[in-house]
Copies of this chain bind each other. A is one copy, B any other.
Amino acid sequence: MQDFNFCIPTNFIFGKDSHKKVGETVSALGYKKVIVNYGGTFLQETGLLGTIIASLEASGLAVIELDGVLPNPRLSLVYKGIELCRKEHVDLVLAIGGGSTIDTCKAIAAGVPYSGDVWDYYRTGAPVLKALPIGVILTIPASGSESGCGSMITNENGWLKRGAGGPALYPTFAICNPELTYTLPRVQTACGMADMYTHVCERYFTNTPGTYIIDAMSEGFFRSLVEIAPKLLADPHNYALRSEVMWMGTIAHNDTLGVGRIQDWATHDMGHEISGIYDTTHAFSMAIMLIAWMKYVYRHDLDRFVRYGRYAFGISAEGASKEEVALAAIDCTEAYMKRLGMPVRLHEINIDDSRFEEMAEKALIGKTHIGNFVELKKDDIVKIYNIAK
């Protein structure tokens, strides 16, 4: 194993009706004034927003609201939130939603005590060591942001999607009630399951030698998700399945399945450039780029792809060459994404090859290469975008 630090101080409060505990949870931590951040219309339509605010107010907390989070969340809303928090002397930022809302809250939390432009963190990668405390009520299991210290924000000035992170950005608590996800649109449920699959892949494909336990647990993750996904899409009010997927989204992205190894992340880097320019749904970009990336790199370590095929999909290696097994494993991955309803080629979402060079260049800003399993330079990235065409 590579040397590592692992510390996730977040208190996960998981289960039925857990969102009704938000008031007592925040109050027990000693905070007084909360900004509630969200997007879309789901919270109002379902009455969930009212329930949550009532819980906060019943515990004597002052509440202000910040609406307007969009997918691929924008820097402009972050600036607005920072200003509001400073003006109102907010002492906890509460995200109600999924990755976009949580990442917006993390950016706001980082920005409030910072004297410069919060985009500095995203531009330079400097670690966020000071931030307002962050709470989460998770409604979309996908990003894993409730359990991580990273935040992805899109700067409308140049449509750059960039990440920041640091120990101050771990949520203090994350309330996870699977029932809140019953009414998620089918496409969002599916996107979540595509997204979390990719999170584990980015960690699984490594050159670190002698890995066992994290590999085996990750293979268990793939196998479970492949089994659960069609069941959940057919039975969206199934509490057991919803709870499995909710927790899977969390552990997929907090390094429970990633410690001690050099990870890859090229799929995310290439996907972010698509989402940044075309505002494509994150999971669509991920599904498309994961398949294309696998097709480009699999020969680098056939044994790993054979192992992946065997334990994630039960592909027998008997009577087949390693290359055949590897390609079968990639086919199974593609079939999984298709079963979720994900696009697996760029043309399916009306993206042509006109900006591949530009996207490759943007993915490499400030870097000599992306990826670690195979180091990718501009030429490689353009080739992968072409595979994804």
Contact = CB atoms under 8 A, between A and B. Distances in A.
B15 A240 contact: no
Interface in A202-221: 209-213, 215-221
A4 B15 contact: yes
A210 B238 CA distance: 10
Contacts of A2: 15
Contact of A240 (B1, B243, B247, B251): B1
Nearest to A13: B5
Interface string A206-248: 0001111101111111011101100000000010110110011
Interface string A4-21: 111111111111101000
Contacts of A260: 14, 243, 247
Contact of A219 (B3, B4, B18, B220): B220
Contact of A212 (B14, B16, B228): B228
A259 interface: yes
Given A3-B18, A4-B14, A220 B213 contact: yes
A256 interface: yes
Interface size class of A (residues with CB under 8 A): 35 or more
A12 B16 contact: no
B11 A244 contact: no
Interface in A303-319: 311
A297 to B, nearest CB: 23
Contact of A221 (B12, B16, B217): B217
B256 A256 contact: yes
Nearest to A250: B6
Task: Please list the 5 inter-chain residue pairs (A to B) with the smallest Cβ-Cβ separation, ordered nearest first.
Answer: A3-B15, A210-B240, A216-B220, A1-B243, A7-B11
5 contacts: A6-B12, A6-B14, A14-B260, A217-B217, A251-B256
Given A212-B227, A212-B244, 14 more contacts: A14-B259, A210-B244, A213-B244, A213-B247, A213-B248, A215-B220, A215-B224, A216-B220, A216-B221, A216-B223, A218-B220, A220-B220, A243-B260, A247-B259
Interface of A: 1-16, 18, 178, 209-213, 215-221, 223-225, 227-228, 238, 240-241, 243-244, 247-248, 251, 256, 259-260, 311
